[in-house]
Amino acid sequence: MEIRPVELEDADAIAAIRREDGVREGVMSLSGERTDATVNFLRSLSGKDRGFVAVEDGKIIGFAVLLSEKDPSREHCASIAVMVGKNSQKRGVGRALLARLTDCADNELELHRLELLVLTDNEKAVKLYKSAGFTVEATKKHAAVVRGAFVDEYLMGRLHSKEAAI
């Protein structure tokens, strides 16, 4: 498996994963989400944002993104999201993508704070994020719609480890 920066040509494959049963619920997608939504999203990435895909045998199996906050009072922060195709889960793909993002945040962008939203019932994802230094900071009631019902999300945060130690 290889992790490489995302390209516009990856949009078809990413959009297909975003629509998969068992993936779309956690990544805020819809079964009717058109590929151009992904194209527009990739085009919107700016210089301080980062996107990576996980590729195996020439096939895209995962995608991760880091979005830097634009507001000057929150420029030290970025939000991240990681997704892995249904058939490629439980094999460390998410962990590898997450490690690439935290490396970017800590050593390249030198961000002070990373944050993410995750469904509270997504135990595997919560465990993965905890292992990378994220902690649950807030429980957002009814923050998302999944299968016809409101569900809760955790806001998880992680401060730059070197700075946090000071």
> Where in 20-134 does DSSP place strands (E)?
50-56, 59-68, 77-84, 113-119
Identity of residue 9? E
Say if residues 76 and 39 touch (Cβ distance below 8 Å).
no
Determine the Cα–Cα distance for residues 49 and 27; give it in Å rounded to an integer: 18
Q: Which is nearer to another protein, 77 or 128 (CB)?
A: 77
Draw the binding track, 48-87, toward another protein (x: CB under 8 A; -: no contact).
----------------------xxxxxxxx----------
Q: Which of 79, 109, 112, 122 binds another protein (CB under 8 A)?
A: 112
Q: Which of 7, 12, 30, 107 binds another protein (CB under 8 A)?
A: 30
Taking the complex as a whole, the smallest distance from the CB of residue 66 to another protein amounts, in Å, to: 17
Taking the complex as a whole, the smallest distance from the CB of residue 76 to another protein amounts, in Å, to: 5
> Where in the chain does DSSP place strands (E)?
2-5, 50-56, 59-68, 77-84, 113-119, 135-146, 149-159
Q: Name the residues that contact another protein, by CB under 8 A.
A: 28-30, 70-77, 112-113, 115, 136-145, 150, 155, 157, 159
